[in-house]
């Protein structure tokens, strides 16, 4: 079987995005726009992959070593972009799949069908098209009276009659390598944009009597490209719908998929319910039988099984099984919650570990703390972790109970089984099984360890 190489054209300036960020790096459902083209190429198991980039916008370090970056220093059109790749394919004898980096809805199914038809017909060039009912600025497929492809006309060069044609060129092609080496150097920039159009090779081929094959794709939405923020939002809506449908097929309940936002990088366990307004981002992993939402944002976090989260924000947080969070909790990066931990309303936690069975029910700030098992944190408790120079740690040992409105001035430790009185300011360590109260707090008495039958 012939080898296939892939070329992703991604050097366009993306001026309609009106952004300092290159178009192909704009986020789409948790991943850069161009990553969808790369994912499709990986799914097709193509090993030789080239990306044509503008070196002024995209640093070479962006994509790692699995792809070969080719620079297009002057943006002179798609044909010129592919010409920059040809020197890297001098000895290549297989087929060359060419894609655009701003077409995230193209599927491996469509592109695999394109390659198969190209080989079945022993074609020099096969074009992927789509028939759509909406207006678009994509080039039009022009066929002759017998239905064969005659040429592709770009929008700026098209006549009013040609613009009425609904079959579009999607910028995805399969070329026989030798054909490309022969015809690509022959294209000119004699057009409305003074650019070297890759599509001109089609007209050159048909003039020489070489048949060019066309394969219409199955889903018209595959033709949705991204040239503006409005188009990015439209594509995001389509992709989110696909993501939601995928998870519902996998046993996840989405109460309202239209108001549920799940990144392509998120994983969710079966029998979990996602309520309206949930936003699941990044590398988030959610276990089984959880209830997420309503109106919760979870980013780059691990959520165990049987967890309930409502009206809360979790960033880079690790949550153990059977924990309960919210409403209106804010868990910042570095938070680790053990099993059956309860975090209630208006609680903020940052860079802290709270072990199994402990509770922070409401109105507290816990920062840079280590809290043991079965600890109860009273309402209004604050770990005063910043001394004006550095962040300091608070440690609260197992079975301790912190009274309401306690201020723990770090670095400080509250011992095992100890208690603090309401409104206390803890400036010094509290020994195990002690009661500390007052401003500043003093040890009032020793407590007897509780015995468990």
Which residue numbers are catalytic? 362
- Going by C-alpha positions, the residue among 432, 430, 435 that lies closest to residue 445 is 435
Q: What are phi and psi of 308, to 5 degrees?
A: -115, 125
152 contacts 173 by C-beta, under 8 angstroms:
no
CA distance 378 to 423: 10
CA distance 276 to 258: 8
429 contacts 415 by C-beta, under 8 angstroms:
yes
User: Which residues have a Cβ under 8 Å from the Cβ of 194 and sit 6 or more positions away?
Assistant: none
- Going by C-alpha positions, the residue among 302, 307, 367, 363 that lies closest to residue 332 is 367
CA distance 394 to 131: 64
- The answer, yes or no, to whether the previous bond of 327 is cis (omega within 30 of 0) is yes
Question: Which 8-state DSSP code applies to residue 383?
Answer: E
CA distance 122 to 124: 7
CA distance 404 to 158: 74
118 contacts 4 by C-beta, under 8 angstroms:
no
- Going by C-alpha positions, the residue among 334, 260, 323 that lies closest to residue 287 is 323
Question: Which 8-state DSSP code applies to residue 379?
Answer: T
CA distance 420 to 110: 66
- Going by C-alpha positions, the residue among 66, 65, 69, 107 that lies closest to residue 85 is 69
Q: What angle do CA 424, 427, 429 make, to 5 degrees?
A: 105
Tokens of 87: 């020197």
Q: How many helices (H) and strands (E) does the chain have?
A: 7, 42
Tokens of 282: 């990044």
Please classify residue 420 by burial: count the beta carbons closer than 10 Å to its beta carbon, then call 0-12 exposed, 13-18 middle and 19+ buried: buried
């Amino acid at each position: 079987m012939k080898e296939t190489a892939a070329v992703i054209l991604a050097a366009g300036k993306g001026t309609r995005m009106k952004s300092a960020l290159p178009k192909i790096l704009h986020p789409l459902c948790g991943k850069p726009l161009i990553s969808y083209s790369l994912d499709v190429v990986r799914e097709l198991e193509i090993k030789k992959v080239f990306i044509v980039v503008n070196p002024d916008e995209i640093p070479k370090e962006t994509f790692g070593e699995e792809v070969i970056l080719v620079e297009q220093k002057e943006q002179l059109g798609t044909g010129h972009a592919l010409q920059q790749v040809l020197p890297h394919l001098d000895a290549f004898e297989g087929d060359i799949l060419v894609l655009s980096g701003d077409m995230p809805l193209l599927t491996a199914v469509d592109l695999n069908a394109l390659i198969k038809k190209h080989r079945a017909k022993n074609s020099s060039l096969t074009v992927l098209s789509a028939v759509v009912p909406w207006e678009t600025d994509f080039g039009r497929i022009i066929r002759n009276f017998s239905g064969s492809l005659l040429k592709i006309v770009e929008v700026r060069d098209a006549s009013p009659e040609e613009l009425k044609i609904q079959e579009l060129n999607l910028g995805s092609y399969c070329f026989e390598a030798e054909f490309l080496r022969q015809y690509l150097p022959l294209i000119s920039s004699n057009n409305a944009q003074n650019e070297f159009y890759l599509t001109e090779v089609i007209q050159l081929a048909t003039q020489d009597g070489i048949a060019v094959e066309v394969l219409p794709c199955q889903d018209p939405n595959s033709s949705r490209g991204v040239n503006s923020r409005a188009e990015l939002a439209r594509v995001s809506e389509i992709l989110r719908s696909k993501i939601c449908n995928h998870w519902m097929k996998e046993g996840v309940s989405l109460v309202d998929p239209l108001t549920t936002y799940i990144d392509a990088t998120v994983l969710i366990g079966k029998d979990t319910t996602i309520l309206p307004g949930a936003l699941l981002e990044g590398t988030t992993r959610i276990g089984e039988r959880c209830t997420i939402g309503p109106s919760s944002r979870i980013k780059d976090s691990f959520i165990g099984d049987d967890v309930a989260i409502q009206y809360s924000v979790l960033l880079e947080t690790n949550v153990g099984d059977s924990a309960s969070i919210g409403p209106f909790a804010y868990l910042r990066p570095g938070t680790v919650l053990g099993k059956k931990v309860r975090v209630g309303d208006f609680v903020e936690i940052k860079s802290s570990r709270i072990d199994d069975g402990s509770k922070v029910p409401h109105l507290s700030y816990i920062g840079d703390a280590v809290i043991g098992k079965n600890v109860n944190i009273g309402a209004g408790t604050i770990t005063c972790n910043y001394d004006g120079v550095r962040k300091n740690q608070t440690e609260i040992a197992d079975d301790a109970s912190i009274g309401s409105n306690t201020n723990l001035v770090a670095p400080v430790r509250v011992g095992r089984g100890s208690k603090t009185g309401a409104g206390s300011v803890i400036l010094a360590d509290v020994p195990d099984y002690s009661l500390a109260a007052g401003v500043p707090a003093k040890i009032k008495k020793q407590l007897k360890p509780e015995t468990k039958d």
